[in-house]
Amino acid sequence: MGIEHIRQVAGTGIIGIIRGEAPGMGLTAGLRADIDALPVRENEGPEYISRNDGVMHACGHDAHVAMLLGAAKIIRGRRKEFAGTVLLVFQPGEEKAPGGAKLITQSGILDRYAPDIFIAQHVAPELESGLLGFCPGPAMASCDEIYITITGRGGHAAKPSEYTDQIRIAAELVIALKDAITTAAAVKAPSVLGIGRITGLGATNVIPETVEIAGTFRTFSEEWRQEAKKMILDIAAGMASEKGVTIDLNIVEGYPVLVNNEPLTARAASLSETLLGREKVTGIPARMGSEDFSFFAERYPALLYRLGVTGKGQSVKQLHTASFDLDESAMTTGTATLAWLALNLISDLKG
């Protein structure tokens, strides 16, 4: 399209720059599309099925890219009508820590352009095609990974006096942690401590020396997030002392809480009603899923909104599953909305 761009941002990312040519001082808006696929084998069916075995766009990132490219074409075509700058941020690494957004913000590359606002659009199978969903304030939870290793004396199951029962200790620790988080969350902030894996390579009559636990902690409060991580460490240390074992706990910091700027969200929802009609814009609840777009939102007034992609009468095909697909007609709405919001938010353009 002849758009100025920078390659190899945070590895495989690209940032495009469209500068308005109208007189005046417009704002700078960043538009984010995440670009990576997931390690999921796609179900047979559509002609555009992934040709890379075991890898597919199970989170709609290919659609995000296509819609941002379409918006870029519209915005570039109207560059004589606005003052300001639009940054097209094709961001890698959204699905895993530390996240491409963090790497981009840490690189300092955005400091060259000093964005005034940042916007991201994400497909939502739970919404009907063409609907937009907005959630002001805390919209997506933080996410930290928890890895615990319990090490003690193993032995023959028939001789309990000779071993420390790492399987039982692991079970007690999981219950203690979940009970403590659940109790505190009732007064602190909605939270989830999810344990996804417990590994103890013993046998029916062999108590293993080591048991490993892995899970995730999520919440909507950054202050409570830090308190909770200390609580988890303290409970593990107390359990180790009580049971006479070693408990090593590693908390890998993931994404912060995603907070949608409330004035920006209200303005974007109003503009979307003007573009699409009031019946096409709806409020949506916060969700425990996490997003590394939160690293942009920590530094700039930001908004991540949802685009419905399930056609009327069609079955919902959930994200991160082998059957995920979308109604491509929704991409027209997504492309138009991205361009409309960018043009209206950075200048006084009304047409």
Q: How far is 14 from 64, CA to CA, in rounded Å? A: 14
Task: Please state, in angstroms and rounded to a whole number, the distance separating the CA atoms of residues 345 and 82.
Answer: 11
Mapped onto helix, strand or coil, the DSSP state of residue 47 is: coil
Query: Sign of the CA dihedral 101, 348, 130, 285?
Result: positive
Please tell me the predicted confidence (pLDDT) of residue 48: 86
Q: How far apart are CA 10 and CA 7, in angstroms?
A: 9
3-state DSSP percent of the chain in helix, strand and coil, to 5:
35, 30, 35
Domain-wise residue ranges, the chain = 4-141+257-346, 143-255
User: What letter represents residue 311's amino acid?
Assistant: G
- 317 φ, ψ to 5°? -110, 105
CATH fold group of domain 143-255: Alpha-Beta Plaits (3.30.70)
CATH of domain 4-141+257-346: 3.40.630.10
Helical axes 61-77 vs 330-346, angle rounded to 10°:
50
Q: Which residues contact 313 (CB under 8 A, 6 or more apart)?
A: none
Find out whether 309 and 125 touch, Cβ atoms under 8 Å: yes
Helix (H) or strand (E) holding 119: strand 117-128
> pLDDT tens per residue, the chain (351 residues)?
999 999 999 999 999 999 999 998 889 999 999 999 999 999 988 888 899 989 999 999 999 999 999 999 999 999 999 999 999 999 999 987 788 999 999 999 999 999 999 999 999 999 999 999 999 999 999 999 999 999 999 999 999 999 999 999 999 999 999 999 999 999 999 999 999 999 999 999 999 999 999 999 999 999 999 999 999 999 999 999 999 999 999 999 999 999 999 999 999 999 999 999 999 999 999 999 999 999 999 999 999 999 999 999 999 999 999 999 999 999 999 999 999 999 999 974 433
| Strand 85-91 to 132-134 pairing | unpaired
Integer CA distances (angstroms), 38 to 140, 295, 320, in order: 20, 21, 8
